[in-house]
Structure 1
Amino acid sequence: MAFLDHERAWRVASVLFLVSLWPSSVLGAPQVPCYFIFGDSLADAGNNNNLLALAKSNYPPYGVDFPDGFTGRFTNGPTSVDIIAQLLGFAKYIPPFATARGNDILQGVNYASGAAGIRSDSGQQQGERISLDRQLGNHLITVSHVREILGGNVSAYLNTCIYTVGMGSNDYINNYFMPDIYPTSRIYTPEQYADVLIKQYRQQLKTLYLYGARKVAVIGLGLLGCIPAEISRFGTNGSACVDKINNAAILFNNQLQPLVNEFNSNLSDAKFTYINSFAISTTGPGTEGLISNATCCPVHKELGTCVPFETPCSNRTMYVFFDAFHPTTTVNLGFAARAYNALLPSDASPYDIRNLAMI
């Protein structure tokens, strides 16, 4: 118990420190001029709000601990990218593409969309969502607006910004592991599917590079097999999590890190880095002692999202999952802290986001 008490004390101290930063005023300028965010529901800040989508969170109890209330973030407070933005020195939240206007875009835009994937068909049973290809198209629109505001060649500006890309979860949990809806698991072995995804992801990340991105943090897949909705759907056969899903995520991650190294070797001025979500979740101070076998909010059995207006748990800092898919802000704080400033060498390679910003 002493070990768990030590872990809990470290975690609480870390959370209190980070909360003390958020959303207090930031002294001086941000470490980079802008921060652009690509991703899925782990990073969505409201892009799905006006879509004909089942993947929505613009209602209570989501946002119960967020200054602006329920905004379309799939958690109780800030997301991990919100916290990374704060650690980078931004005094305001990076606005979602759906509402970003005027000079606000000069500090960055969040394109993330719940249920979105690398593949355009991933998440289709959830209704409308903004796939990575479409997010890249939206970014091109932003780049044109930045050019209108700043005038002339904006490459020097965009080259110094931070970009985070966290995709792939829905290509598994809302595609490959839904054989009743998607044919992919009958067409590809897990090894072949990882190959197919990485091939498409390579082209998408290269497109982002061609649009001016140079400092890119690519976020790997986490413990998808430990998500409550997946455990409920598949069972664990005596394991703590759904091993076949975690093993598939490992196959994807094992190709993603070499892809980052490939870009750094072959693309001029590229500074890509790999954020190892799987390692962050399984090494060092993590979620030991937190409640991981229950959700903080009552959830829809079919959707896994919070039932609207139901009361969430009161001890939210002690839960891993807010709903059946998404972590609480406590977990987001721990992940963001280690992505920004690596605690262990395995957290990020070749550098963490703090060092990426300084390059």
Structure 2
Amino acid sequence: MACSAKIFFTIIFLVLNIKTLVEGAPQVPCYFIFGDSLLDNGNNNELNTTAKANYSPYGVDFRDGRPTGRFTNGRNTADILAELLGFDHYIPPFASAKDSDILEGVNYASGSAGIRNDSGSHLGDRIYLGRQLENHQATISGIANLLGNTTSAKKHLNKCLFIVGIGSNDYINNYLLPEIYPSSHLCTPNQYATALIDQYSQHLRTLYEDGARKVALFGLGQIGCIPAEMKKHNTRICVGSTNNAIQQFNSKLKSLVDDLNTNFPDAKFTYINMYSISSIIAPLSVFNRPCCKVLETMPEGQCVPAETPCSLRGIYLFYDDFHPTEIANRIATNRAYNALLSSDAYPMDIRHLVMKNNIVYDE
């Protein structure tokens, strides 16, 4: 009880000290987002998939209370980081970004997307990481048209912040579903993590070649502690075997950051330790329940349409069986931007990353 109380008051302290909109010009001229449902702000709305959040009660606390495609009650990490960076608006999804909007950034994230092309395929269409990079190349062409040529476009991109938060679905909607996907029958957790990181590495090299020079890579949170995973194992405590598998991926991702920084000295990659940041939820089984009533059939674990969610959304850490509430997103994003502990980010937090001198693109 004492431990739970201490963590609860830590949450309150963090929330009260979270920064709001930063006055003045944004800290970077542009900001690009790649990832899954934790960052998606509408790209899945028109896709043929059950992994979408463009219905009530999603978005109940976002602006006028209407759903936008964000998988939470309010803002997600991409939105909150935009505020911390000083933007006076949220970065638009690729699905609706147009004209000069793309100069300030695009959100390519897609619910159920993974590093692997097949992850989440049983849910329907999704924009997996390879397709997100293809969409980004289309954006680069648009920027080149606006600025006059590809060289100018890449000089512009050199100054931008890029964040990538992906990999959860390669576990939740792949490796941890042996009845649908063969990956867990073919690979040990270590082998699977190695294969994922190898594929991820190639995608990140493509991102670098396309002009990215300031890149924050979000590690995976404690998936063994999400309501869906605990329900599946019929337990009220975090699933250790799942968290052990996640830690193997994160360890390799952190090593990849070192490799990328060594191989590309004109760029800076950093690792955001979401596993450590999300560890605040592990002892709080009372908060490991979803705020909204969730579906028992496909899409299992998402909010039941039009049902009224819990009223005390400010003390819940999960909105549905998979996704954090806005308050949890605020806590995590603030620590990613401005590390509370040295373990939160490696080798630096996002605040220090964006302060790095801009690299001039070399043709």
Same fold flag (TM > 0.5): yes
Instruction: Find out whether 1:188 has 2:187 as its counterpart.
Output: yes
Report the equivalent of 1:75.
72
Number of residue pairs the alignment of both structures matches? 351
TM-aligned CA distance change 1:332 to 1:186, over 3 Å: same
Q: Secondary structure at the match of 1:47?
A: coil
Deviations 1:148-179 (CA, angstroms, capped at 9, x unpaired): 11122222210110000011100011001111
Counterpart residue type for residue 12 of structure 1: I
- The separation in 1 between residues aligned to 2:272 and 2:137, in whole angstroms, is 25
- The separation in 1 between residues aligned to 2:287 and 2:143, in whole angstroms, is 43
- The separation in 1 between residues aligned to 2:274 and 2:283, in whole angstroms, is 16
Report the equivalent of 1:293.
288
Does structure 2 conserve the Cα–Cα contact (< 8 Å) formed by 1:280 and 1:338? yes
Report the equivalent of 2:160.
161
TM-score (norm. length: structure 2): 0.93
Report the equivalent of 1:120.
117
TM-score (norm. length: structure 1): 0.94
Deviations 1:67-124 (CA, angstroms, capped at 9, x unpaired): 1421000000100121011100011001000000111111100000000000000000
The equivalences for 1:3-22 within 5 A come to 5=5, 7-18=7-18, 21=20
TM-aligned CA distance change 1:103 to 1:269, over 3 Å: same
Report the equivalent of 2:303.
306
Report the equivalent of 1:39.
35
Instruction: Find out whether 1:100 has 2:97 as its counterpart.
Output: yes
Counterpart residue type for residue 224 of structure 1: I
> Which deviates more from structure 2 when the two are superposed, residues 107-116 or residues 288-297?
288-297
Report the equivalent of 1:60.
56
Does structure 1 conserve the Cα–Cα contact (< 8 Å) formed by 2:227 and 2:322? yes
| Aligned match for 2:46, one of 47, 50, 75 | 50
The equivalences for 1:83-232 within 5 A come to 83-152=80-149, 153=151, 154-232=153-231
Q: Secondary structure at the match of 1:332?
A: helix
Please provide the CA RMSD for this pair.
1.7
- The separation in 2 between residues aligned to 1:338 and 1:48, in whole angstroms, is 28
TM-aligned CA distance change 1:155 to 1:268, over 3 Å: farther
Does structure 1 conserve the Cα–Cα contact (< 8 Å) formed by 2:237 and 2:285? no
- The separation in 2 between residues aligned to 1:298 and 1:235, in whole angstroms, is 18
TM-aligned CA distance change 1:274 to 1:220, over 3 Å: same
TM-aligned CA distance change 1:287 to 1:93, over 3 Å: farther
Report the equivalent of 1:266.
263
Q: Secondary structure at the match of 2:289?
A: strand
TM-aligned CA distance change 1:358 to 1:117, over 3 Å: same
Pairwise CA distance, 1:293: 3.2
Does structure 1 conserve the Cα–Cα contact (< 8 Å) formed by 2:160 and 2:214? yes
Q: Secondary structure at the match of 2:321?
A: coil
Counterpart residue type for residue 146 of structure 2: I
Structure 1 residue runs of 4+, over 3 Å off? Answer: 1-10, 286-291
TM-aligned CA distance change 1:106 to 1:291, over 3 Å: farther
Does structure 1 conserve the Cα–Cα contact (< 8 Å) formed by 2:225 and 2:288? no
